[in-house]
Amino acid sequence: MADNIPNLMSHLDVGDKVVLGLDVTDVGTNIRKFMWPDYVVFMGMLMICLIIGMYYAFFKKSTNSEDYLVGGRNMDTFPVAMSLIASYISGISLLGIPTEVYVYGVQYAYIVGGFLLMAIVMSTVYLPVFHGLNLTSTYEITWLPLVIYVPALAFNQVTDINVHLITPVVCLICIFYTSMGGIRAVVWTDVIQIAIMTGAIILVSVKGTLDIGGIANVIERNLESGRIEGPNFDINPLARHTIWSLTFGGFAYVMQAGAVNQNMVQRYLALPTLTSAKRALWIFFAGLVLIVLLCSYVGLLIYATFHKCDPLTTMLSMSIGAIASGPSLGIFTMGMLIPYINATGALYGGLSALLFMSWFCLRTQTLIASGDLSFPEKSVTTEGCHYSFTPKQSSTSNIFFDPSVNATDVLHTE
């Protein structure tokens, strides 16, 4: 996919001249399309997942429901910890964090303080309870969310394959290796997936850093734009990010997603002892911090690469956002810490929290849409963009060169 960029730019910027007649959508599409190595990696990963599922289905068969659901409670710590990271990290993280840092700066990275609080509370409060209950699944007390749309949408952006086709195909593959191999197959496919994701982020970071002349240039350009900055200690609740909202809000968010979610708890329960579960938790914490910091660095790297030619202003890219809330965290916590809470209290408390969060989120989005609530973005420029776009005059996409136009006279698309 990256191989298209230099070829495309060689057409766009030719000896201080400008190329006209190329639609902006064509440029963005050309830059981000999959090449054959991308397809090989993607299909190879899916095939590995299928093979792992068949291996555990035919050669390491589960003997009972506990063996199928929690691996007989004797799985190794490291693969389970990697599976925890893969279960938490989603397409939203990989796409959203770099975009957040590019647009608003590095403030979001301070959420790692909330992750630390989560690890401490999880290891001292929640894990002992779950291991003491000896459950096989938190389905016995809650529900499981399924997130597939964002990865399918990302795949659609680079292949043009309909998202409604991608979703069932990926779901069927996941269902196959999960139903055939049980939790062991799920854990080991997660290990493969997190290795590929982390490796890809590291390769992008290294390649991008080398391309712009080293990490010193990344730091210098982002310091000049104000993207690298210390924590914001403002107590204004309407500020986009403060150290308080990131630490305590991040703590609440990651507690809901990591401490009382079926995806996560089932993996903790697959470990033989509470000590091994706590060890997996701290590896999960370290991996989570690493992924967030790497994604944040990618955001800084994107700005350092395009600091003179903003791809968002030129409409060459799009961003994806999402919102989530977790009243279930309150229900779990009350059940663990307040023994006289009954089912009726949990029901009304959960409904009240759900209604409040629904109002809060909808009200926030309404204020943003009306312009009453806004967040200052970091500065960008297009002064280094040596190209311009004109509307197509026909159905063809012919590129032509106008020798009379100089790059310094170009009006950039806003």
Task: Report d(CA 112, CA 4) in Å as an integer.
Answer: 36
Task: Report d(CA 205, CA 299) in Å as an integer.
Answer: 10
Task: Report d(CA 257, CA 111) in Å as an integer.
Answer: 14
The pLDDT of residue 6: 44
Q: Could you tell me the pLDDT band of residue 250, with boundaries at 50, 70 and 90?
A: confident
Task: Report d(CA 399, CA 153) in Å as an integer.
Answer: 30
Q: Identity (one letter) of the amino acid at 374?
A: S
Structure-token pair, residue 303 = 């700005």
The pLDDT of residue 286: 93
The pLDDT of residue 327: 67
The pLDDT of residue 306: 84
Q: Could you tell me the pLDDT band of residue 357, with boundaries at 50, 70 and 90?
A: confident
- Identify whether the C-beta of residue 240 lies closer than 8 Å to the C-beta of residue 119: no
Per-residue pLDDT tens digits for 101-126: 888 888 889 999 999 999 999 888 88
Task: Assign domain 36-329 to its CATH superfamily.
Answer: Sodium/glucose cotransporter (1.20.1730.10)
Q: Could you tell me the pLDDT band of residue 65, with boundaries at 50, 70 and 90?
A: low
The pLDDT of residue 7: 46
Exposed e or buried b for every residue in 38-64, given b needs 16+ CB within 10 A?
eeeeeeebbebbbebbebbbeeeebee
Q: Which residues does 218 contact at the CB level (< 8 Å), separation at least 6?
A: 209, 212, 297, 300, 301, 304
Q: Which residues does 387 contact at the CB level (< 8 Å), separation at least 6?
A: 12, 13, 18, 19, 407, 410
The pLDDT of residue 57: 79
Residue ranges of domains in the chain = 36-329
Average pLDDT of the segment spanning 337-360: 76
Identify the weakest region by mean pLDDT among 77-81, 266-270, 312-316: 312-316
Residue 387 pLDDT more than 70? no
Strands 400-406 and 17-20: antiparallel
Per DSSP, the three-state class of 98 is helix
Q: Which residues does 14 contact at the CB level (< 8 Å), separation at least 6?
A: 401
Q: Could you tell me the pLDDT band of residue 74, with boundaries at 50, 70 and 90?
A: confident
Strand ranges of the sheet holding 400-406, from the earlier edge strand across to the other edge? 13-14, 17-20, 400-406
**Among candidates 263, 202, 270, 223, which has minimal Cα distance to 106?**
223
Structure-token pair, residue 320 = 């994806």
- Output the pTM of the full model: 0.71
Choose from 293-307, 327-341, 387-401 the range with maximum mean pLDDT. Answer: 293-307
Tally of residues, the chain: 414
The pLDDT of residue 279: 92
Task: Report d(CA 192, CA 79) in Å as an integer.
Answer: 10
Structure-token pair, residue 280 = 């997996």
Quick one: what percent of the chain has pLDDT higher than 90?
Answer: 15
- Cα angle 21-8-207, degrees, rounded to a multiple of 5: 150
Average pLDDT of the segment spanning 39-64: 81
Helices 77-88, 163-211: crossing angle, 10 deg rounding:
100
DSSP 133-185: HT-S-GGGTS------HHHHHHHHHHH---HHHHHHHHHHHHHHHHHHHHHHH
- Identify whether the C-beta of residue 109 lies closer than 8 Å to the C-beta of residue 259: no
The pLDDT of residue 345: 78
The pLDDT of residue 117: 92
